Amino acid sequence: MSNNIAIAIDGPAGAGKSTIARLVAERKGYIYVDTGAMYRAMALYFIEQGIGADEQERIASVVPDVEVTITYEDGEQIVWLGGRNVNGLIRTEEVGKMASASSGSIAVRRKLVELQQALARKESVVMDGRDIGTCVLPDADVKVYLTADSRVRARRRYEELKKKGQDCDLDVIEKDIIDRDYQDMHREISPLRQAEDAVLLDSSHMTIEEVAQAIIGLCDEARRE
Ligand code: DC
């Protein structure tokens, strides 16, 4: 057994998981593992191969060819697809939707869960995703289910896109978020759900700092036990 610590943060799209997980990892000196980025890198591969979101058999057949690896530079996770750093290519709506659709594939999940578990064996991690507390790290020291009202999540996304100068519509963003939640919560394998032993945090009316402090408090509590 290793002495590594694992903090699992699950929740729906746009709840602030990555911002919070990155901050907690930085404060605790742990590695931040963004598992959504791995599903996005796989999705990018499928898109580039011209595979459609509903072609589950083709998705499964090419999974053995996809090479997703993770490295860290100054604490920042870099996702490699083959020999290519794809960090700058995976944050689009198109890739997000394909990631949500293709993450229902058992072949995709098996491959990425293995990679995630290997990372947690080597290092203390703050890992965020949809199935971390329920499947990837069932023995995590701290489990958090981070959520927020869909309107609040849509507004955060809207502000982010506006800041980048992109034209967007709040209602369309909220509908996309609700559709993605539905897809992630209703797939057959490892659907998004709160682990029985996870602490529920609703960030609708909390600041980033308040959420981070709450999680760090849970880590301190876990260490004392
Ligand atoms: O967190 P994100 O938006 O980057 O994730 C993209 C998609 O990847 C998400 O809609 C569902 C899938 N995903 C998953 O199935 N399991 C994870 N642990 C992380 C992401």
Residue 155 scores a pLDDT above 80:
yes
CA separation for the pair 127, 146 (Å, rounded): 13
Phi, psi of 14 (to 5 degrees): 80, 10
Locate tokens 């058992």: which residue? Answer: 106
- Rounded to the nearest angstrom, the distance between the alpha carbon of 192 and the centre of ligand 1 is 9
Residue 200 scores a pLDDT above 70:
yes
**CA separation, residue 117 to residues 29, 62, 110, 140 (Å):** 19, 22, 11, 11
| pLDDT value for 93 | 87
| Mean pLDDT along residues 124-152 | 97
77-124 confidence digits (pLDDT tens) = 999 999 999 999 999 989 999 999 999 999 999 999 999 999 999 999
| pLDDT value for 174 | 96
Q: Average model confidence (pLDDT) for the chain?
A: 95
From first CA to last CA, the distance across the chain in angstroms is 18
Ligand 1 binding pocket includes 11 (Cβ within 6 Å): no
Q: Are the CB atoms for 78 and 87 separated by under 8 Å?
A: yes
Which residue is closest in CA terms to ligand 1's atom 20? Answer: 36
Higher pLDDT, residue 164 or 194: 194
For residue 132, which atom of ligand 1 is closest to its CA?
A: 18
160-178 confidence digits (pLDDT tens) = 889 989 889 999 999 999 9
CA separation for the pair 192, 10 (Å, rounded): 8
| pLDDT value for 100 | 92
CA atoms 156, 159, 163, 164: torsion sign: positive
Ligand 1 binding pocket includes 35 (Cβ within 6 Å): yes
| Mean pLDDT along residues 55-61 | 95
| pLDDT value for 75 | 83
Residue 224 scores a pLDDT above 90:
no
Q: Provide the 8-state DSSP code for 126.
A: E
CA separation for the pair 15, 186 (Å, rounded): 18
| Mean pLDDT along residues 47-62 | 96
Q: Which band of pLDDT confidence, cut at 50, 70 and 90, is reported for residue 151? A: very high
Q: Which band of pLDDT confidence, cut at 50, 70 and 90, is reported for residue 140? A: very high
Locate tokens 């800041």: which residue? Answer: 163
Candidate of 38, 86, 89, 100 to mutate for ligand 1, largest count of ligand atoms within 8 Å of Cβ: 100
Residue 143: other Cβ atoms inside 10 A? 24
| pLDDT value for 49 | 97
Higher pLDDT, residue 75 or 63: 63
Residue 1 scores a pLDDT above 60:
no
